[in-house]
Structure 1
């Protein structure tokens, strides 16, 4: 299965903040949206990603004062991305190798969606279930 198919089901909504948003604002977005990361965009391009891990690192480094600082001070700048034509297996390997849980989907330099490890696992479970059902039907048909 390709990323483009996941985004058809999931939709292309991406929770975003600007680089000048405070860490508190970004944390509020994580909480309100019930997501583990927000994409930091600047002028329509991906400037970084701010995850729960980044939040923990910010508070551990600078305490409560981190909450009033810009998210750009703590975001992950070297963002690993996906393309709509990437396969689920490719992305699972990429996420495992890099120890990341979210990949913004970028097409021709434009942010078009985001996939999480949960999205990929859900897809793999659906594929395995479909395959098992197909084999059961084949065996039952004799």
Structure 2
């Protein structure tokens, strides 16, 4: 399965935040959207990702004061992207190797969606289930 197919099923909604917004604002957005990461955008350009993990590290380092600091102080700046034509297997390897859970998807330099590790696992389970069912049908047909 390709990234484009995942986005077709789940939609291309991207929840973003500006780098100057506070970590407290980001936490409120993470909670209200029920997501694990926000894409940090300066206008149309992706400049980072702020994940729940980044927030935990910020609080561990700087305590409550981190909540009033800008997202740009704590976001992950080295953003790893996915492309619509990539396979789920490629994404799984990239996410595992880099220990990341969210990949913004770029098509021709434009942000078109986000794929999470949950999306990838869901896809892998669906493919395995389909394959098992196909094998059962084949065996039953004799």
Q: Structure 1-normalised TM-score? A: 0.98
CA distance in 1, matches of 2:25, 2:81: 24
> Does the alignment pair 1:6 with 2:17?
no
4+ runs deviating over 3 angstroms: none
Q: Secondary structure at the match of 2:106?
A: strand
> Does the alignment pair 1:109 with 2:109?
yes
CA distance in 2, matches of 1:124, 1:137: 20
CA distance in 2, matches of 1:136, 1:68: 57
Cα shift at 1:61: 1.2
Aligned counterpart, 1:23: 23
Aligned counterpart, 1:72: 72
Aligned counterpart, 1:85: 85
Structure 1 segments unaligned to the other structure (5+ residues): none
Cα shift at 1:19: 0.5
* RMSD between aligned residues: 0.6
CA distance in 2, matches of 1:114, 1:137: 35
Structure 2 segments unaligned to the other structure (5+ residues): none
CA distance in 2, matches of 1:10, 1:44: 22
Cα shift at 1:14: 0.7
Q: Structure 2-normalised TM-score? A: 0.98
